[in-house]
Chains A and B, each alone.
Chain A
């Protein structure tokens, strides 16, 4: 009962993180089905319709069920501890926004048992295809609404907490970057989630209420859906990465034993990324037949976004430069993040070149791109954060040896999994297909093998986390020699109500 009614930021943070971990394995299991089917040409495991629902639900679960709740969980745990507050500003809202999620995802997954099966039109839900879904369609839309409401409430809570609950002397420009990036992320969420909600509601009325927002036969426009969707969707991809930037900006200085390079430029870079993310959406739609000036505008704007992203990477590297580095598991994941996220950034830059995107678009090249930024980006940052803060949260050190094994097995296998997908895309393999021409066999075999190893190695992560929660070598308050910030002044584990008295800020 404590867990159901809790309004404590740490309890709710834990619930979010556990939920995210469960969803990570649910989505991961679907990815294993996908890779098993693609292991060989010809259909061996599932039929095409089910395959499509696997890709669709895998993406929805990973984005809305794993990465976003994990970040919200981290924010719940860390924001009050980082700004010197006792708890979140709106504790009851906090409880509610978490408890919506299990219902949302139960609804989503229950569509698999309805007539017509789970959603199979892609996570992007493009009509008219998405409207061909069977009886599960309204349940899908309702699940998306619920997840969206949960995100909006969580974001409001974070904004209010950050703006009102800072300890005296904690000016905005003294806040840790994790708090900054989450503050900006929360604004992105509040701005874009209602747009998604509007778009899916229009789908719902098109299907059931006889409107034709997106049906050309009734005077509507199927491409308009894509504009609305990506007006949400591109900021969404930054929602999935800005908190990661904050995490990495906390970890690198700790293990380099050197202050973060260019703090204020990091803040400005985050803000400009957030702004630019609203004016690049149609780079996902270069092939829909926009007027050529539109294509040019979105190409230039997208290329611009690489500049502030680059600034961040350069700042991290400069933070490492001339430090005194050690490589414990959180640092390994953080360094892995910088290198592999940058690889994803490079392929992003290539995709931004509209004429080249006419070849890359909707191929495995794009699949490789967004998995480099999402798996070795967002997910790696979450793993880094887990290893970094778990000792603080539990008072126990995790098993360093197993952590390092987890890192190395994951890093080798994730590259075996995703790097060859660049080659597949360039060679001409489209995405979202259950079967492929024999010429694509070799790299698919490699990729699937990497996928199975990566999938299995995440069980090790779950084991390390559980082991650490249950016990281990006790840690002191500082935990990491080079760590800096208010959370490290609290005991390990921290008191139930973080700062009952406002701390002194230097």
Chain B
């Protein structure tokens, strides 16, 4: 008998991975006013349901105990009562109207994106996010944010890595987090390059769809510096579960420092387009870009996944005419999963990844300079 109990218990014991036991029950209160009011609404409606539940289930349980045949209960024969019917139509309506009032005011506040201090454009791409700082402090900054490379390797089927070591950050960590200043109203413009995604950080209190060809608006204001995590919430294909979001809220001074660093890097990038690159430099940079932007489909080994994603190794396009190669990656191919990278990668990154594709896995088809990409735009 002991053995019988022992086996499943031991099995469950390992299954839970006790190091990170986390029996969260309820919604987060989050770190914004919005998330707090959403939480409050959630709790009100929850308690309303509980109260109704106590009455309804209470009556049922009472009846099931006392109105049993085995207790000698004789069945009454009533089967109508207009008063009762009216009561249980009107009372719920009153409850619902009193729920609708706070819900309406919260909704109106959430949808009011006016008077923002800065704007960030968020673009969902299979399977990463692109952030463009459109206006306000930091305007012009632009980068991609994808799943942390270590997690990306660990999550593969048969990777043999124990993911418990990453703890609560597993699948919720990125290479480049979104940075915003505290105490500022930040407006988001959400869109997508390929399929529909949804941008969701629970601590901010909302999610919103990112739809190709459309621009949605949302806003947040975080007052506490901190790191807030979330992930894509709309099924967007194979790696939907692997496109996390990390928002780092920094105090205004630290945010200013971060902006200065980023803008310095951007100036370098612009300068770099003008100069001649050598093959080694391009391939080294291209390898990183390829791993974060292309390998999800074309695979790190360049062999793709037949028949959905073609191999780059030995591909006619990646070993042929440079103009066709540049054109395909800049503009994508309509009706397939191959997205247009024109607005997703900058000239240097594009040149690097193209060169990498042309000179790896046995391909040897020459280099493409950033200037050539710029000219092709």
Enumerate chain A interface residues (CB-CB to B < 8 A): 39-44, 46-49, 52, 115-116, 120-122, 126, 128-129, 131-132, 134, 207, 215-217, 221-223, 256-263, 265, 287-289, 292, 295-296, 299-300, 303-304, 306-307, 310-311, 313-314, 317-327, 335, 338-339, 342-343, 346, 349-350, 353-356, 358-359, 361-363, 423, 426-428, 430, 432-443, 445, 449, 482
- Closest A residue by C-beta to B127: A48
Given the known interface contacts A325-B69, A355-B37, A438-B168, the answer about A296 and B23 at a Cβ–Cβ threshold of 8 Å is no
Closest to B103 in A: A353
Taking the closest CB of chain A, its distance from the CB of B198, in whole angstroms, is 6
CA distance A322 to B74 in the complex (A): 8
Contact present for B236 and A129 (CB under 8 Å): yes
The distance in angstroms between the C-alpha atoms of A452 and B213, with both chains bound, is: 43
CA of A129 to CA of B198, assembled, Å: 13
Contact B241 A436 (CB under 8 A): yes
Q: Is the CB of B167 within 8 A of A438?
A: yes
CA distance A442 to B14 in the complex (A): 11
**Chain B residue with Cβ nearest A343:** B53
Known: A355-B41, A436-B241, A437-B169. A311 touches B89 (CB 8 A): yes
Q: Chain B residues near A217 (CB, 8 Å)?
A: 212-213, 334
How far does the Cβ of B299 sit from chain A's closest Cβ, in whole Å?
12
Complex: A222 Cα to B232 Cα, angstroms: 18
Report which of A126, A326, A349 forms a contact with B70, defined as CB distance below 8 A: A326
Which residue of the partner chain, among A304, A327, A432, A441, contacts B22 with CB atoms under 8 Å? Answer: A441
A223 touches B89 (CB 8 A): no
Write the residues of chain B forming the contact surface with A, with a CB cutoff of 8 angstroms: 12, 15-17, 20-28, 37-38, 41-42, 45-46, 49, 52-53, 56-57, 59-60, 63-64, 67-70, 73-81, 84-85, 88-89, 92-93, 96, 99-100, 103-104, 106-108, 110-111, 154-159, 161-164, 166-172, 190, 194-196, 198, 200, 202, 205-209, 211-214, 216-217, 230-242, 307-308, 334-337
Q: Are A303 and B240 in contact (CB under 8 A)?
A: no
Residues of B within 8 A of A442 (CB): 16, 21-23
Residues of B within 8 A of A260 (CB): 79
Judging by beta carbons under 8 Å apart, are B60 and A320 in contact? yes
Chain B residues near A43 (CB-CB < 8 A): 155-159
Residues in B neighbouring A134, C-beta threshold 8 A: 307-308
Interface SS, B side: mixed
Contact residues in A for B172 (Cβ distance below 8 Å): 437
Are B99 and A41 touching (Cβ within 8 A)? no
Check B73–A323 contact: CB distance below 8 A.
yes
A384 to B188 Cα, complex, angstroms: 50
Contacts of A307 in B (CB 8 A): 89, 92-93, 96
User: How many Å lie between the Cα of A436 and that of B168 in the bound state?
Assistant: 10
Q: Which residues of A contact B110 (CB under 8 A)?
A: 355, 358
- In the complex, the answer to whether A322 meets B76 with C-beta atoms within 8 Å is yes
Top 9 nearest A-B pairs by Cβ distance?
A216-B213, A433-B241, A289-B216, A346-B49, A427-B24, A322-B76, A358-B206, A259-B79, A257-B75
- CB of A122 within 8 A of CB of B198, answer no
Q: Is the CB of A434 within 8 A of B241?
A: yes
A287-B157 in contact (CB<8A): no
26 A-B residue pairs with CB within 8 Å: A47-B157, A48-B240, A120-B237, A128-B194, A132-B195, A222-B212, A256-B67, A258-B76, A260-B79, A289-B190, A289-B211, A325-B63, A325-B67, A346-B52, A356-B42, A362-B207, A362-B234, A426-B26, A427-B28, A430-B231, A430-B233, A432-B240, A435-B242, A438-B163, A438-B170, A441-B15
Query: For residue A215, which residues in chain B have a CB less than 8 angstroms away from its CB?
Result: 213
Whether the pair A306, B92 counts as a contact (CB closer than 8 A) is yes
CA distance A287 to B69 in the complex (A): 51
Residues A304 and B75 in contact in the complex (CB < 8 Å), given A299-B103, A433-B240: no
Q: List the A side residues contacting B73 at CB < 8 Å.
A: 322-325
B291 to chain A, nearest CB (A): 18
**B-side contacts of A445, CB under 8 Å:** 12, 15-16
Of the candidates B49, B242, B307, which one forms a contact with A350 in the assembled complex, judged by CB atoms under 8 Å apart? B49
> By the criterion CB–CB under 8 Å, are B155 and A356 in contact?
no
Chain A residues lying within 8 Å of B17, measured Cβ to Cβ, are 40, 438, 441
Evaluate contact between B96 and A299: CB separation under 8 angstroms: no
By a CB distance below 8 angstroms, the chain B residues around A295 are 107, 111
C-alpha gap A128/B234 in the complex (Å): 12
Interchain CB contact under 8 A, A129 and B74: no
| Assembled-state Cα–Cα distance A125/B76 (Å) | 51
How far, in angstroms, from A323 to B64 measured CA to CA in the complex?
Answer: 9
Closest to B49 in A: A346
Q: How far is the CA of A306 from the CA of B337 in the complex (A)?
A: 42
In the bound complex, what is the Cα–Cα distance between A44 and B107 (angstroms)? 41
Minimal Cβ-Cβ distance residue in A for B164? A438
Q: Are B76 and A432 closer than 8 Å at their CB atoms?
A: no
Contact A132-B21, Cβ < 8 Å, known A320-B64, A359-B205? no
- CB pair B15–A40 under 8 Å, yes or no, is yes
CA distance A449 to B9 in the complex (A): 12
Query: A68 CA to B92 CA in the complex, in Å?
Result: 31
Rounded to whole Å, the gap between the CB of A122 and the closest CB of chain B is 5
Choose among A289, A313, A361 the residue that contacts B56 (Cβ–Cβ < 8 A): A313
Beyond A43-B158, A116-B307, A355-B107, 10 additional contacts (C-beta under 8 Å) are A129-B236, A222-B212, A265-B85, A319-B79, A355-B110, A361-B207, A427-B28, A434-B241, A440-B22, A445-B12
Q: Nearest chain A CB to B366's CB is how many angstroms away? A: 32
Contact call A342/B24, Cβ cutoff below 8 A: no
C-alpha gap A319/B84 in the complex (Å): 13
Q: Is the beta-carbon distance between B206 and A441 smaller than 8 angstroms? A: no
**B69 contacts which chain A residues (CB < 8 A)?**
257, 324-326
A358 to B208, CA, bound (A): 8
Indicate whether A346 sits within 8 Å of B53 (C-beta atoms), given known contacts A122-B235, A306-B92, A435-B242. Answer: yes
| Given A292-B107, A437-B172, A342-B53 contact (CB < 8 Å) | yes
Contacting pair A287 B100 (CB below 8 A): no
Q: Which of B64, B96, B237 contacts A304 (CB 8 A)?
A: B96
Q: Are B200 and A430 in contact (CB under 8 A)?
A: yes
Bound-state CA distance A221–B211 (Å) is 10
CA gap between A432 and B242 in the complex, in Å: 11
Residue pair A289, B60 in contact (C-beta under 8 Å): no
Report chain B residues within 8 Å CB of A311: 85, 88-89
**In the bound complex, CA of A265 to CA of B80 (Å):** 9
| B56, A435: Cβ atoms closer than 8 Å | no
Please give, as numbers and ranges, the residues of chain A lying within 8 Å of B74 by CB-CB distance: 324
Distance A207 CA – B207 CA, assembled complex (angstroms) = 29
Let me know if A438 and B20 touch, CB within 8 A: yes
Q: How far is the CB of A276 from chain B (nearest CB, A)?
A: 13
B residues in contact with A338, CB < 8 Å: 60
Q: Which residue of A lies closest to B57 (CB)?
A: A339
A317 partner residues in chain B, CB cutoff 8 A:
56, 59-60, 63
CB of B60 within 8 A of CB of A128, answer no
Q: Are A288 and B45 in contact (CB under 8 A)?
A: no
Per the bound structure, the CA–CA distance linking A306 and B92 in Å amounts to 8
- Shortest CB-to-CB span from A465 to chain B, Å, is 27
Chain A proximity of B335: nearest CB distance (Å): 7
A381 to B212, CA, bound (A): 42
Question: Do the beta carbons of B67 and A355 come within 8 Å of each other?
Answer: no
**What B residues does A47 contact at CB under 8 A?**
157
How close is B218's CB to chain A, nearest CB, in angstroms? 8
Would A132 and B68 count as touching, CB distance under 8 A? no
Residues of B within 8 A of A262 (CB): 79-81, 85
User: Which residues in B have their C-beta under 8 angstroms from that of A430?
Assistant: 200, 231-233, 241
Q: How far is A116 from B198 in the complex, measured between Cα atoms in Å?
A: 25
Query: Given A257-B75, A304-B96: A363 and B20 within 8 A (CB)?
Result: no
Partner of B170 from A41, A222, A259, A358 at Cβ < 8 Å: A41
Known: A40-B15, A354-B103. A258 touches B64 (CB 8 A): no
Nearest-neighbour CB distance to chain B for A292, whole angstroms, equals 5
Alpha-carbon separation in the docked complex, A442 to B356 (Å):
43
A42-B155, A323-B67, A449-B12 known; A48+B166 contact, CB < 8 A:
no
